[in-house]
Amino acid sequence: MSILTQPWPWYVSGILIGLMVPALLIIGNKSFGVSSTLRHICAACTPTKLTFFKYDWKQESWNLMFVFGVAIGGLIAGYFWQNPEPVQLTESAVESMNQMGVKNYSGLIPTDIFNFKALLTLKGFILMVVGGFFVGFGTRWAGGCTSGHAIMGLSNLQWPSLVATCCFFAGGLLMTWLILPYIMNL
């Protein structure tokens, strides 16, 4: 059973993620990308006059089906095949995160910080609600996320995707090194 619950080495994971690109192209002539599902949800759920959300989202519903599958995959791999061991982080990473006040390393995410109760605290609200907002707002303005730009766009050698990928990292570095330590201390 441990073969199912163990995490996979980076090269296995990397190859499989990369193979998503040809798999989607060949089975459905679709370009890999997840963040447009957020737009489809807006188009499907919000009664709006905004032209940005006025399109036949059902025509694009393949990736809503795809992310529905992703959630089921999460249930299978993260719940039924849950890794009983904590994530094997480097010592220096644990040390840095200890300094930021992280205590619970048992799962995939620090559940002492990311939980429903914490939403009512300033720190939790900023990390989860504002953070989520940045992801959704930023990805649409950028025209894609890590899947659409960093994986699909770069696979197709699109230089705007290289710019976007570098800027994803720039934003992440800015947050991690300069801003996050303050948020974590709130």
Partner 1 sequence: MKKNIKFILLGILFGIILIKAEVTSWFRIQEMFRFQSFHMYGIICTAIVVGIISVWLIKKYRIKSVAGEEINIAPKIFHKGNIFGAIIFGLGWAMTGACPGPMYALIGSGYGVFIVILLSAVFGTYIYGLLKDKLSH
Interface residue with partner 1 among 160, 182, 185, 186 (CB under 8 A) is: 160
Query: Does position 135 bind partner 1 by CB under 8 A?
Result: yes
Distance, CA of 54 to CA of 77 (rounded, Å): 36
Task: State phi, psi for 61 to the nearest 5 degrees.
Answer: -70, -5
Select the residue interacting with partner 1 from 103, 128, 182, 185 (CB under 8 A).
Answer: 128
Cα–Cα distance, 183 to 143 (Å, whole number): 28
Tell me which residues in 88-107 interact with partner 1 (CB under 8 A). Answer: 89-90, 92-93, 96-97, 105, 107
Among 25, 60, 101, 181, binds partner 1 (CB under 8 A): 25
Among 55, 85, 103, 179, binds partner 1 (CB under 8 A): 179
123 contributes a contact to partner 1 by CB under 8 A: no
Residue span 38-57 as binding mask against partner 1, x where in contact by CB under 8 A, dash where not: xx-xx---x-x-x-xx----
Residues in CB range of 5: below 8 A, 6 or more apart: 81, 82, 83, 84
Q: By CB under 8 A, name the one of 60, 101, 140, 181 that touches partner 1.
A: 140
DSSP string, 134-186: HHHHHHHHHT--IIIIIIIIHHTT-HHHHHHHHHHHHHHHHIIIIIHHHHHT-
Closest distance to partner 1 from the beta carbon of 52 (Å): 4
